[in-house]
Amino acid sequence: MVFDPSQGATTEPAVEALDAVIIGAGFSGLYMLYRARDVLGLRACVFEAGDGVGGTWFWNRYPGARCDSESFYYCYSFSEELSQEWTWTSKYPEQPEILRYLEHVADRFDLRRDIQLGTRVVGARFDDAADRWEVETSRGDRVSARFLISAVGCLSSANVPEIPGLGRFEGNWYHTGAWPHERVDFRGKRVGLIGTGSTGIQATPVIAAEADHLTVFQRTPNYSVPARNAPLTEEELRKIRTHYAEIWKRARDSFGGFPYQRVERSAFEVDDEEREQIYDQLWQDGGFKFMWGSFNDLLFNKEANDTAAEFIRRKIRETVKDPDVAARLTPTDHPFGTKRPPIDTDYFETFNRDNVSLVDLRESPIVEITPRGIRTEAKEYELDVIVFATGFDAMTGSLLRMDIRGVGGRSLREKWSEGPKTYLGLQIAGFPNFFTITGPGSPSVLSNMPVSIEQHVEWISACIEYMRAHGSTRIEATEKAEEEWVEHVRQVADLTLFPRASSWYLGANIPGKKRVFMPYVGGLLPYRERCDEVARRGYEGFDLRP
Ligand code: NA7
């Protein structure tokens, strides 16, 4: 199928009829296109806002950007040949390497001919009589498709806080999630970085090494565990390649999509000395294992969590030489892991450098951005560059940016005004034939994304196949199934410590956003079993119409 972008310029653009429109060409969109086109034989196309494929990894080019999951399982499992032929260079891959991987996937499976780049889906309306979606793009395309599949990603709507005066700033400013393609030169510059989430924590040491001076503006101190990144050796790669089948089975059958055995011991099953040794060893090993490989009650029991939190606080105090700076960097207001735990390379060490300073925004909040820099209640900081590492309107931002209208013209924005509601994170009542890959209400951001993405893409493909076999043109989640699922998602979250943090999981980072815990905390394996059970029962909780 060939799209002619020039069609968009005419007053009466042709309406192209397809089976499926997929929104986004990141990890989800690429695999969805492959399944839809090459496995199901559908006429499918992808619209992608960026000028290249890669999604998150196309946009997030900031210094120090890398994946916090290990390369050998932060990738696709669907093609054995792909797994065997691709060579990861390090334990935690850098952004350019992941982008190269996704570009390779697009080329290897000849996906590009059905991807229209530089094109944002601006709206979609369900035609109730025809059981089809009419999709409109920023370039004026009008496409009709039986299925509309969102592959927009969970962290793709950059959040630039509304701080007065940004327009008057005379230096350059950047958001980490929309980083320029050209190299940003920090040499000789006074740089201000706002935000100490995973992104700010990755960027800080790299910018500090280059800039004349780096000022980190911190609103909430964060727990962070060292990554211990290292090149992958030939021997490690050989072992990974020989064991891929086992690795994927483990990842799929796990709680979070990681190919590691979940530890089934409470923090209080061991004495203080043994607990300390366990944390020490995991601190040395680095990465998410500190969370998943230590104790099973860190996210459920505040006292258990305190043991991990206190261990990290001690490490911060040991690492950061200035006790005042250490105290400001020490998190105390939320349990460890209830905000997405960052993984770092020399983050806390960076505050020992002479050219790095920390501003605690809890003591003196930002008042405005001036032509020369940032002014807090205490003073003005003169800056040449401001870096916003201020995160995303997570999970719902990119979906709600589009004007999506379901049955009776009802808009998704209106339906979700009190927070997102979905059935299994896969579909929304009132929006037939619309699927959301890793939508709110699914494990998504609490899991290793590619594993969750593959599960969703495969479930959606099987559903479409089932509909075809049963002569059905319309599938829609029922209100009842949706309500029950939303309630279940809430109840499971309330069993954990997650709601105790003002995190983006809850929408707390966006002023005015309704606070609802969005991802499903019940674990990937139970979730997958539930999805499979629903399918086995003829898509229980969905209305299927011939
Ligand atoms: P995060 O995790 O949302 O972190 C954003 C940071 O920016 C965090 O420290 C925020 O403080 C801070 N922030 C946000 N708005 C402001 C304002 N207005 N003023 C000062 N500071 C602010 O985003 P990341 O990009 O780091 O990571 C997102 C995910 O990408 C990550 O979790 C991984 O899954 C990959 P706060 O904590 O809200 O007080």
pLDDT at 9 over 60: no
Mean pLDDT to the nearest integer, 70-91: 97
Write out pLDDT tens, residues 394-445: 999 999 999 999 999 999 999 999 999 999 999 999 999 999 999 999 999 9
Q: How far is the CA of 341 from the centre of ligand 1 (A)?
A: 12
* Percentage with pLDDT > 70 across the chain: 97
Which whole-number Å values give the CA distances from 537 to 208, 466, 475, in the listed order?
56, 12, 14
pLDDT at 11 over 90: no
Asked if 27 and 453 touch (Cβ cutoff 8 Å), the reply is yes
With H, G, I as helix, E, B as strand and everything else as coil, classify residue 17.
Answer: strand
pLDDT band of 546, cuts 50, 70, 90: confident
Q: Which of 259, 308, 339, 279 is nearest to 517 (CA)?
A: 339
Write out pLDDT tens, residues 174-219: 999 999 999 999 999 999 999 999 999 999 999 999 999 999 999 9
Q: Give the closest residue (by CA) to ligand 1 atom 23.
A: 391
Q: How far is the CA of 232 from the centre of ligand 1 (A)?
A: 30
Burial class (CB in 10 A: 0-12, 13-18, 19+), 389: buried
Atom of ligand 1 minimally distant from the CA of 388:
7
Pair type for strands 132-137 and 142-150: antiparallel
How far does Cα 508 stand from its chain's mean position? 16
pLDDT at 5 over 90: no
Q: Give the closest residue (by CA) to ligand 1 atom 14.
A: 390
Q: Give the closest residue (by CA) to ligand 1 atom 4.
A: 197
pTM: 0.96
pLDDT band of 159, cuts 50, 70, 90: very high
The span from the CA of 330 to the CA of 309, in Å, is 10
How far does Cα 297 stand from its chain's mean position? 24
Q: How far is the CA of 218 from the centre of ligand 1 (A)?
A: 10
Task: Give the dihedral sign, CA 269/271/274/278.
Answer: positive
The reported pLDDT for the residue numbered 14 is: 53
pLDDT band of 8, cuts 50, 70, 90: very low
Write out pLDDT tens, residues 509-518: 999 999 999 9
Side-chain-side CA neighbours of 169 within 13 Å: the count stands at: 24
The span from the CA of 199 to the CA of 342, in Å, is 8
Q: How far is the CA of 351 from the centre of ligand 1 (A)?
A: 19
The reported pLDDT for the residue numbered 16 is: 80
pLDDT at 173 over 80: yes
Atom of ligand 1 minimally distant from the CA of 509:
38
Atom of ligand 1 minimally distant from the CA of 198:
26
Pair type for strands 380-382 and 373-376: antiparallel
The reported pLDDT for the residue numbered 455 is: 98
Pocket test for ligand 1, best of 159, 198, 291, 376 (most atoms within 8 A of CB): 198
Q: How far is the CA of 347 from the centre of ligand 1 (A)?
A: 16
- The Cβ of residue 354 has, within 10 Å, a number of other Cβ atoms equal to 6
The reported pLDDT for the residue numbered 262 is: 81
Q: Give the closest residue (by CA) to ligand 1 atom 28.
A: 391
Atom of ligand 1 minimally distant from the CA of 177:
25
Give residue ranges with CB within 6 A of ligand 1. Answer: 155, 161, 194-200, 219-220, 340, 361, 389-392, 445, 504, 509
* Structural domains of the chain ordered from first start: 2-157+394-540 (3.50.50.60), 192-388 (no CATH)
pLDDT band of 241, cuts 50, 70, 90: very high
The reported pLDDT for the residue numbered 4 is: 37
Write out pLDDT tens, residues 530-542: 999 999 999 999 9
Q: How far is the CA of 367 from the centre of ligand 1 (A)?
A: 18
> Could you say which DSSP state residue 34 is in?
I
The reported pLDDT for the residue numbered 261 is: 82
Q: What is the mean pLDDT of the chain?
A: 95
Asked if 382 and 431 touch (Cβ cutoff 8 Å), the reply is no
Atom of ligand 1 minimally distant from the CA of 366:
19
The span from the CA of 92 to the CA of 66, in Å, is 7
The reported pLDDT for the residue numbered 442 is: 98
Q: How far is the CA of 339 from the centre of ligand 1 (A)?
A: 10
pLDDT at 7 over 70: no
| Structural tokens at position 120 | 């944002």
Q: How far is the CA of 197 from the centre of ligand 1 (A)?
A: 5
Q: How far is the CA of 49 from the centre of ligand 1 (A)?
A: 23
The span from the CA of 385 to the CA of 433, in Å, is 45
Mean pLDDT to the nearest integer, 270-285: 97
Asked if 388 and 176 touch (Cβ cutoff 8 Å), the reply is yes
Residues 6+ apart with CB under 8 A from 536: none
pLDDT at 303 over 90: yes
Q: Residue 498 — φ and ψ, nearest 5°?
A: -50, -45
Pair type for strands 121-127 and 132-137: antiparallel
